[in-house]
Amino acid sequence: MELREYLDKTAEDVDKSLFRTYGNVTGELDRASAHLLIAGGKRLRPAVVMLAADAIQRGRSRNIIPAAIALEVTHTFTLIHDDIMDGDEARRGVATVHAQWDEATAILAGDVLYAQAFELLCKSDAGDLEKVRAVAMLARTCVEICQGQHQDISFASRNDVTEVEYIEMVSKKTGALYAAAASIGGILAGGNAAQTKALFDWGLNSGIAFQIQDDLIDLVATAEKSGKDRASDLREGKQTLIAIKAREHGIDLSGYRKENLTDAEIDEAIAALEGAGVIREVRETAANRVNIAKKSLANLPESQARRYLSEITDYFVSRGF
């Protein structure tokens, strides 16, 4: 089975599990909580949980499906709250929760999912000690996600953000949940300390590469391929790695911070960034994280699951183009 086929099948299985739990809820708050969960998604984080478990012990993923669902539920809680903070009106082809209901309901819906994620973790077929360790890992991760989101918000009022600060932010905002997905899968499957650390490092560095690629997709990919407004980060003056490296090369992007940015102006900015080597440097940074992630997997026994994890890392930096 190829990776794409595996991911599609896993997404289908996750969708079925989610629909069984959230598809027929009746209360208004429960409907708001389920809204984005059943709207679809790539379901990459559940796939990582299951692959990590199988990388430790073949077939172990069947026993920890609730944990895989827990990571998707956690991801969705963060999306609901992010949409409120960003004022976004659409997500996954449907209205965001605060747009469909109201802001107060959306906050509560996110809180419900946050709590349910821990309940789901505890339903996995694993030892009590392993479940406690998994719960502690997810709790710590949620703190880091909030810290990363706050850092990202604080960057909006600054024009001196460094690459080190950016990497720290994306490590928490994006990398931490992939690291948790991988290490929780390993923990619940009975992995030893070295194995779960290897999975954590794989997830963290893969997640950083994922976010850097997101920044590139936002700028370079067409709206049809990216699924959102072209160069939205450029319009908003967001402190991405691209913007940071542009400043290091003496390129002023402030003139592109406007709502009515034309395609010609976007192409002009891309040409300047490519000419200065900024795009190349950003791609190299992502590729370096990919290499670090894949080297971490060497601490795991050879298996199809390990190969899929390695291929997912490559997919993270090739998608969108």
pLDDT tens per residue across span 246-261: 999 999 998 888 888 8
Q: What is the pLDDT of residue 260?
A: 85
- Residues of the chain above pLDDT 90, percent: 81
Domain boundaries, the chain: 3-316
Q: Where are the alpha helices (DSSP H) in 64-191?
A: 65-86, 97-100, 103-121, 128-155, 163-170, 176-188
pLDDT at 229 over 80: no
pLDDT (mean) for 178-193: 97
How is residue 274 written in tokens? 């490519």
Q: What is the pLDDT of residue 224?
A: 59
Q: What is the pLDDT of residue 227?
A: 53
Report, at the CATH architecture level, how domain 3-316 is classified. Orthogonal Bundle (1.10)
pLDDT at 208 over 90: yes
Secondary structure (3-state) at 91 = strand
CB atoms within 10 A of CB 39: 13
Secondary structure (3-state) at 94 = strand
d(CA 6, CA 73): 21
How is residue 127 written in tokens? 């030892």
Report DSSP state, residue 251: -
As a whole number, the mean pLDDT across the chain is 93
Residue count (the chain): 321
d(CA 199, CA 183): 5
Q: Residue 15 in contact with residue 68, Cβ under 8 Å?
A: no
